[in-house]
Amino acid sequence: MKSFPMFLTMAGRRVVIVGGDETAAQKSRLMLKTEAAIELFAPALEPELAALVSQGRASHYAGPITPAIFKDAALVFIGTGCPAVDACIHALAKEAGVVVNVVDQPHLCDATTPSLVDRDPVVVAIGTEGTAPVLARKIKTEVETMLDPRLGSFAALAGRLRDAVAMRVPKEMRRDFWRRAFSGTAWQTHRGGDDETAAKMLAAEIEAGGITVPEKGRIALVGAGPGARDLLTLRAVARLQEADIIYYDRLVDPDVLELARRDAERVFVGKEVGAHSWPQEKINEVIVASALEGKNVVRLKSGDPSLFGRSTEEMSVAKGAGIEVEIVPGVTSASAAAASLGRALTERGQTDHVVLSTGTCRPGATDPVWGRMLNEGATLALYMAVNRADDIAETLLASGGTPDCTVEIVSNATHANEAIWRTSLGDLARCVAEDGVTSPAIILVRRPKS
């Protein structure tokens, strides 16, 4: 390393910023996250900086720049907009022996500002020694997805309890106490917005000397989206990283599982062509059994768990066993398919409503009434429908759909092997049969207004 990462204590210390334009404002925004005293040196200030001074958040000096103004400053930022002037001011600052950052002149910098993920008091700093700022920002984005927005406030609560833990919890039990605190029910409660109850739960465990009754685990029905892992929600990523065990479907992309913590157990419960599949009853049984053992369980489903994902059965059994269940929505295939096609699911004046339907019901069940769904102004999104394409086309044509209705089929949306077909309702059955359309695929049928 050419640069050593370090966190500086800033409370009550001076930070000098030389400059009065947007560059100085950017540095001020960064320092406002700390408890430092901000001092601005410039002949004039742009409106944002002037507002900081009027609010008492910073002080302003318009006089000459001398080495004396830098004395005892914790940090100095120089950014007047003129490289030559900045170099001269840098020389004055160095006479005072302070740490200096000159904007856009790395060779004059004693320190560089990292990209920050701020969950105060939890802070992650990312630096590339000035070689690749764009990469640092990319990494910051990925780390942002890993850390819950409420993590900082829970860490602050933990900090306030440290003395009480030291007094009441035996030393050999403290590590386990904090492990439970940051992964158990108290954290889940705090994350859900109930700070007061979470604090009482931790206080009760501390009062009991760190001894607690084993907790039931939780079950999260998590939507993995259509495939691409960067389409997962932040909450989905958080649940994967908290999971002790993950039960996942065949259509879940392996890249998605890489977002889980390394020591999480992974159990495949999907169906492979020609191989034995897990009955739904068995899946219900194992996810509940794992939760009863105190594990955080993720039932990872492709797409959105609430759409044709059999979530109702799993939720019912879990709730019957007294297990808390959460649904984490995912991007559903209809939305992903429309994105791949480069268009919206609705269009003003043409299609003003979307109907989602399955093409395959459970054995013995009556088919959906597809004909009633494709009325004027509708986009009909058909899931699990490739094998029923001929029946669906026949029904829609018999119910008022015209042969020239636009049909678009997207197979493996957002995956590397994504495939797209554009056809018509009259030609749907032939297209699927002769072009070798395979599942998983979504069929979109549009019937614009006349």
Helix residue ranges, H only, 169-310: 171-181, 185-191, 195-207, 234-242, 254-257, 280-292
pLDDT of residue 274: 42
Is 271 among the catalytic positions?
yes
Q: Record the tokens describing residue 211, joined without a space.
A: 């001894």
The dihedrals phi and psi of 93, each to the nearest 5 degrees, come to -65, -40
Judge whether 444 and 396 are in contact, CB under 8 Å: no
pLDDT for the residue numbered 81: 92
Reading the block at residue 357, the tokens are: 């339907």
Distance (Å, whole) CA 215 – CA 184: 8
CA atoms of 150 and 57, how far apart (whole Å)? 26
Cβ within 8 Å of residue 350, ≥6 positions away: 377, 446, 448, 449
Domain 334-447 has CATH 3.40.190.10: no
CA distances from 34 to 23, 30, 31, 37, 150 (A): 18, 8, 5, 9, 19
Distance CA 53, CA 44 (A): 12
**Long-range contacts, 373-377 (Cβ 8 Å, 24+):** 374/399, 374/400, 374/401, 374/405, 374/445, 374/447, 375/400, 375/447, 376/447, 376/448, 376/449, 376/450, 377/350, 377/351, 377/352, 377/353, 377/447, 377/448, 377/449
Per DSSP, the residues of 356-393 read EEES-PSTTPPPP-HHHH--TTEEEEEES-GGGHHHHH
Rounded to 5°, the CA angle 39-118-15 comes to: 15
pLDDT in tens, 270-318: 755 444 568 889 999 999 999 999 889 999 999 999 999 889 999 999 9
Structure token pair of residue 201:
């739960």
> Any catalytic annotation for residue 216?
no
Q: Residues 323, 293: contact at Cβ < 8 Å?
A: no
CA distance 23 to 18: 10
Q: What is the pLDDT of residue 273?
A: 41
Is the domain covering 14-113 a CATH 1.10.10.10 domain? Answer: no
State residue 279's pLDDT score. Answer: 87
For the chain, domain boundaries? 14-113, 151-207, 218-331, 334-447
| Residue length of the chain | 450
CATH number of the 218-331 domain: 3.40.1010.10
pLDDT at 17: 98
Catalytic: which of 33, 138, 200, 271? 271
pLDDT given at position 213: 59
Return the pLDDT at 271: 58
* Residue stretches of the chain with pLDDT short of 70: 212-214, 271-277
Place of tokens 């554009």: 422
Please pick, among 86, 148, 244, 249, the residue that the annotation labels catalytic: 249
